[in-house]
Amino acid sequence: MKQSIRIASGQGFWGDLQTAPVDQVRNGPVDYMMMDYLAEVTMSILQKQKMKDPNLGYAKDLVPLFEEILPDIVKKKITVITNGGGVNPIACRNAIFAVADKLRIKNLKVGVVLGDDILGQIDALAAQGIKLDNMETGERLESVRSNVISANVYFGAFPIVEALRQGAQIVITGRTTDTGLTLAPMIYEFGWSDSDWDKLAAGTVAGHILECGGQTSGGNFSADWKSVPDLAHIGFPIAEAGPDGTVVITKHDRTGGLVSSASVKEQLVYEIGDPKNYITPDCIADFTTIQLKDTSLDRVEVSGVKGKPSTGFYKVSMSYFDGYTAFGTLTYAWPDALEKASKADQILRIRLCDLRLNFDEIRTEFLGYDSCFGPLSKNTGTLNEVVMRVGVRSRDKEAVNRFSKEIAPLILTGPPSVTGFAGGRPKPSEVIAYWPALIPKTAVTPKVIVEQH
Amino acid sequence: MAGVDPENSGDSKSHSGTTLTIQLIQIAHARSGDKGDTGNVGVIARKPEYYPLLEKYLTVERVQSHFAGICRGKVERYELPNLGALNFLLHESLGGGGTRSLKNDAQGKTLSSVMLRMELEITESI
């Protein structure tokens, strides 16, 4: 058994720094690289792409990325684990095999994890009494059933572990938890059992620390952002994990950014609920047991993590169509920038009212003044300029289209000294709303396929 | 880096009868994010001896009143003494959340700044 493995974070979300995964495999030693591509509504975007073309539905960024890094990971025997397979992990795998052909790389073993996509089984599940009602609001699924676009079960680390046991060098999953991508290689390398709750919790905490990429290593760092060196060349975080679950968070030498207990703490408290009960499919981690220690420059030891048994349920991430939005912006200059922007908003609202358009909500914010602070905004003196930003939401697409024609006229029929309309009419976009639910673990089975090409 | 060295902690004597007005950002840093229409704000003490001040002054009631007009639902507070941190959940704060929200900050990324701007009247010295 290895005494230590280095797991690199390569991507914190779809659209993250494109050079990060390349730097992670080239700038120093790593054994594994995990890449998280899936935010809550990403699956719906991918499901729509797959409906248009059955060969799509995965994070397409992976193809040019593997063209770049496949020779490196083969040569250095680095295993890559990603949930970028989206709603079509098989198509993603085939695209990677095509890259291998192009680069004349043979005997590449790629594993896929399937079974998370339950869009086609919703009614069959309902017939079995599994209703998938909203776990946060209690609303019944019937209220949005006809508008559901995607439905995916969050699997944990163990299907990935199975793919690793079968020798996969790349593992492509659909909706796997972000933390499972990091936990899986620890389970595999150190032989942890599925009831080793403290160790599973330790690996889960490491996963939470890695899952948002540079946010652990100096990005979005509120404690002292001015002190962070060379963010232009930020090194993404790396977890050095040991068999007992102790993990050191670090980054490659000679990269920018920083790793400190303060930067790790900021990530630990990011997007959590009750810290004593951080629930994943693999375990429940208790974040109040985590001990951090700055051991040397850019090295933080994470230890002491306690865990509890996992629940009998998987979380299901569903999305549904819920109308349209559009946003219009105009920039007003001194003098009286805020008063002018405010007057323009009033004029716009009167015109929308005259047109008898039906909106669920109209919201106006003044960027540069109150979009972050709302009613807490303080008028700290004369504003050089302010951006009026008006958003509307409606289930009536025509109302949203009509709104988009009412922004530009304000330029010549409203307050003076206005600009910032070069983008043309605002384009309506679809609202994809999120519907979280629970499903008994016994109702779905992950499927693992490992193939050599 | 400023303010995180546990070896270099200052003396914290209380001054009875006098109060000091501070801004939360002097004693804490923070990060915020979203889960649906709920914003989460993690507030972290800059030094270990500041954590009791967070525990004492950053009450649910204080946070609820600070976020009046932004947070339309309840506020929940969780303690992480091991990290010198508090985690707040601000329900109904993101204009519906996700792609439904019409807010510029639909994901609550700047709620941390709103929190850190809070002024506190404390009886301790820092």
Q: Percent of chain A scored above 90 by pLDDT?
A: 94
E strands in chain B: 20-23, 28-35, 38-45, 75-80, 85-90, 119-122
Distance of CA A1 to the CA centre of its chain: 33
Q: Enter the ipTM.
A: 0.95
Q: What is the mean pLDDT of residues A160-181?
A: 98
**pLDDT at residue B10 tops 50:** no
Peptide bond before residue A335 is cis, with ω within 30 degrees of 0: yes
pLDDT band at A45 (very low <50, low <70, confident <90, very high): confident
Measured between CB atoms, does A258 come within 8 Å of chain B? yes
User: pLDDT band at B17, cuts 50/70/90?
Assistant: low
A293-331: pLDDT as tens digits: 999 999 999 999 999 999 999 999 999 999 999 999 999
- HSE-CB at B2 with a 13 A cutoff on CA atoms is 13
Residue range A264-285: mean pLDDT, rounded: 98
The domains of chain A are located at 5-116+154-311, 322-432
Half-sphere exposure in the Cβ direction for A422 (13 Å, CA): 1
Selected for mutation to probe chain B from A41, A205, A228, A269 (highest B CB count within 10 Å) is A269
Q: Locate the chain A residue with the closest alpha carbon to B81.
A: A288
Cα–Cα dist B30/B83, whole Å: 12
Given a cut of 70, is residue A145 above it in pLDDT? yes
Comparing CA positions, the residue from B79, B59, B67 lying closest to residue B122 is: B59
Contact A372 B89 (CB under 8 A): no
* Interface probe with A: pick from B7, B89, B99, B118, most Cβ of A within 10 Å: B99
Best of B7, B26, B29, B113 to disrupt the A interface (most A CBs within 10 Å) is B29
Q: Return the closest-CA partner of residue A390 out of A322, A330, A340, A324.
A: A330
A 2-61 → B contacts, CB under 8 A:
40-41
Mean pLDDT of chain A: 96
pLDDT digits (tens, 9 = 90+) for A195-251: 999 999 999 999 999 999 999 999 999 999 999 999 999 999 999 999 999 999 999
CA-wise closest residue to A176 among A237, A96, A113, A91: A113
Give kind and range of the element (H or E) at residue A113: strand A109-114
Q: What is the DSSP letter of B14?
A: B
The pTM of this model reads 0.94
Q: Residue B5 pLDDT more than 50?
A: no
In this model, does residue B120 exceed pLDDT 70? yes
**Number of other CB atoms surrounding residue A449 within 10 Å:** 15
Return the residue of B nearest to A287 by Cα: B80
Q: Provide the pLDDT confidence category of residue A387 given band limits of 50, 70 and 90.
A: very high
| C-alpha closest to that of A91 among A63, A62, A120, A58 | A58
Its CATH class, for the domain covering A322-432, is alpha beta
A223 contacts B44? CB cut-off 8 A = yes
pLDDT in the model for residue A383: 93
Cβ contact (<8 Å) for B83 and A273? no
Candidate from A220, A269, A367 with C-beta closest to B44: A269
Interface of A with B in 288-347 (CB under 8 A): 288-292, 322, 325, 327
Per residue in A51-63, pLDDT (tens digit) is 899 999 999 999 9
